[in-house]
Structure 1
Amino acid sequence: MAVNWAGGLHHAKKSEASGFCYVNDIVLAILELLKYHQRVLYIDIDIHHGDGVEEAFYTTDRVMTVSFHKYGEYFPGTGDLRDIGAGKGKYYAVNFPMRDGIDDESYGQIFKPIISKVMEMYQPSAVVLQCGADSLSGDRLGCFNLTVKGHAKCVEVVKTFNLPLLMLGGGGYTIRNVARCWTYETAVALDCEIPNELPYNDYFEYFGPDFKLHISPSNMTNQNTPEYMEKIKQRLFENLRMLPHAPGVQMQTIPEDAVQEDSGDEDGEDPDKRISIRASDKRIACDEEFSDSEDEGEGGRRNVADHKKGIKKARIEEDKKETEDKKSVPSQNNLATPERQMAVYGSRKKAGSLCRFVFSSAWYLFSDGIVQFIWQVVLCVSNYEAEISLCHGRALCDSI
C-alpha cells in the first residue's frame, strides 16, 4: 500500500490543464503500474467526475475506471451512465451519476455491491483509489452529505480485497474537514485506532468549536431516492455482464523506470528508511549553483551553497568604499588655510544676506504694502549681486 494525499489531480488532460489540476499524476502512476500489472482498477469517490483519467484509458481494457460523482449542471459535466468506453475499452468505463445530498447509508448501499461486482468480473491485480474529500458534508464546492466515517468506509471496502493499493488525495475545499478525513483514512489504512478528541497543535483553533475528529451530517435533503439508486445499480450490473472475460496481456520486457535512481551507496539501504540529507542534495544539486570548497560543510554536509563568501565579499567592498570616501572628504587642516577661511566667510555672508532679505521682505509686506516690498526686493538683489562679485574677486586674487 502507498499513500499520497498530495496527488489525485484527476481533471488534467494530455493537452490542457483543468479543474485546478495541471499534471494528472494518476495517469502517470497507472502507466507505471501497467509495467508490472496486467489490469489496474481505478476508483474515484471525489464529488467531481474523474474525466481526465477516464479519457486517458477510454479505449483500453487494461484499466477499468469507476467513478461515483455528482452529475448534471456540475463541473466537469461528464460521467453519464451511458459513457462506457470505446473500442477495446468498451464497458471498461463505469460511471454512477448521483444527485445532491447523498448520505452515508445510501452511499454504502451502492458502493460495496458495485465494487464487489467489478472485482469479480475484471479481476484487477492493483487498485488506485482517489479519495477526494469534497464529497464530505459542508464542503464549500460540494453538495453531498457524507461524514468522515462514511467516506472512509470506501477505504475499508477496497482494503478487504487484499490487492496492492495506491491511495491518493484529490478535491476538498473546507480545509479543516479535509485534514480530518485524510487523517482518519490514514488510520484506517494502517488499522490504527485514533481518538475522536483532537490533540493540541499549531492549528487547533481552526477545528472549533467542538475540536473533534469526526463531523456531523447536515439536514439537507437526500435527492437520491432508493428507486433511483437501485435503477442505476442494475444498469451498471448489466454493463458489467457484457465483459467477455478478464483481459490478459502478452508477456513482454518491462520498460525502464521513468525516474532513474543513482546506483551507489543507497542500493543496499532499506527503501522504507528516509534518505540522508547528503543523498537528497546529491540528487537535486546542480554543479553550477553549488561548490565543495574546503571551508564548507559544517556538520558533515557538502553540496551546500556557501552564503558566507558572499557576505564576506560584500563587507570587503563596503570597507574599501568607506576608505575612498574618507580620502575624498577635505580634512580640518585644509580648512584652516587663509584661502579656505575666506571662502567660508563669503558663504556665511551670503546666507546672512538671504536671511535679512526674507525678514525685511515679510516686514514690508505687512506694514507698508506691496510697493515697498517690490522696492526692497530690488535693493536686496542688487546688494546680493555686489557681494557675489566681491567674493569672485577675492577668489581670483587668491588664485593669483
Structure 2
Amino acid sequence: MSRNTCVIAGGGPAGAVLALLLARAGVRVTLLEKHSDFLRDFRGDTIHPSTLQVLDEIGLAEEFLRLPHHKARGMTMRTDDGAVQIADLSKLRGEYPYIAFVPQWDFLNLVTTAAARYPTFRLVMNAEVHDVIREDGAVRGVRYRDPDGEHELRAALTVAADGRHSDVRRAAGLVPVEHGAPMDVVWFRLPREPTDSDEVFLRLSVGRIMVVINRETYWQLAYVIPKGGFEALRSRGIEALREPVATLLPFLRERTGLLTGFDDVSVLSVALNRLRRWHRPGLLVIGDAAHAMSPIFGVGINLAVQDAVAAANLLAAPLAAGAEIPESLLARVQRRRTPPTVVTQFAQRVVQNRLIRPTLAGRDGPVRLPRDLARLPVIGALTRRFIGLGVLPEHVRSPS
C-alpha cells in the first residue's frame, strides 16, 4: 500500500489538467489511467478559446500550437436551402478567437509531459480503478489493478475523473440524474483532398444529420442516428452508411467505397446527465464523471478542463500545506461549477428537442434560421461567447 496527498482516477482532460495544476503547486499527486496509452480514436478533441487561455496561463499555449491542428474561426450549418452561419469566433476578444481541432491523445500527452517535469507527479498507466478505500465514513484512496496485480493507494483526497461510466462514482454510491438524448453518433473517416473545402460544418437534411470536421489530411465524420439505432443501421449493410454520405456530401461520393464495413466505424452512445452531489468526505467528482455532456457545441472537453481549474484554485494550496480537506470545501467546487453545467446542458437539451429530434424524425425539415445568425447584434455576440468561452470561464489562480 502506498500513500499520496491526492489520487486522481482517469487520465482524460479533467484528470490530466488537475494533476498538472496540483503538481505545479507542490502537491504529491498520482494519476491513474486504465489504458496503456491515450490513443483512442473518435474522441472529442475541440479545444475552445477558454481552454487555450488556460494553457496560456500555465505557459503551454505555444507548445500546444506547435502540434498539428486545424483552426476553425466559425461554425456553419448547411441545409438543403443553403448555409447558415451560427457563430463567428473571429470576433471574439482575446488572443485565441478560434477553436483548435487537435487529436485528444496529443493534448493529453502534452499535459502529462508537462506534469512529469514536477517531482511530485506520478502517472500510472494500465491502472484500472475498481473500488474506493473507506475509513471512518470517508474515502481515503482507491483500489486498482494493473498487470502486476491488485494495489491500494491511500490519499488525503480522491478525485473521480474517470468518465461517464465512472467506476469510482459507482463505488461511492453516486448515481447521476439522466436527462436523455434522442441520438447516438457513428464516427468514421474519409480521405481529404487539397481541393476540398476547409470548413467545419453541420449538414442537415430531412431525416439526416452529419457533422463534418476538417482534420487536414482526412475528414472526421459523425453520422447522427436515432437513439439505439446502430444495430438497425448495421443490419442493412455498409451501403446504408455510404448512401447518406454521398447524398449529404456529394464531394465525397467517389470516396464512400473506402468504407468497407462497420469495422471502420466507432459508435458513441450519447448521454446527458449530471450528479446531484459531486462529493463525499474525501472524494470529489469532476468532468464527465460528474456531468456527461452531449456532443452538441463540442464543449465537453472544455467543461471538464474548467472543472479541473476551479478545483485546483480551491484545493491546491490547502493540499500543498497538508491541511485536512473538509467536505464543505469540496462542495464549493460543485457550487462554482454547477451553474455553467446546468446552463450548458439546458442549451444542449433545447437543441436536441428543437433541432435534432424533429430532423431525425423527418418532421417538417430542419429548423429555419436567418442566413447569418452570427451577425445579429445581441444573438451573435452571445452565441460566440457561449461557444468560445462558456458560461463561467475559469482562470488559473492555483499557486505555482
User: What TM-score range do you get, normalising by the shorter chain?
Assistant: under 0.3
- Between Structure 1 and Structure 2, the one with more strand by share is 2
Q: Which gives a bigger RCO, structure 1 or 2 (Cα 8 Å, sep 6+)?
A: 2
Would you tell me which structure has more helix in proportion to its own residues? 1
The TM-score, its normalising length taken from structure 1, stands at 0.24
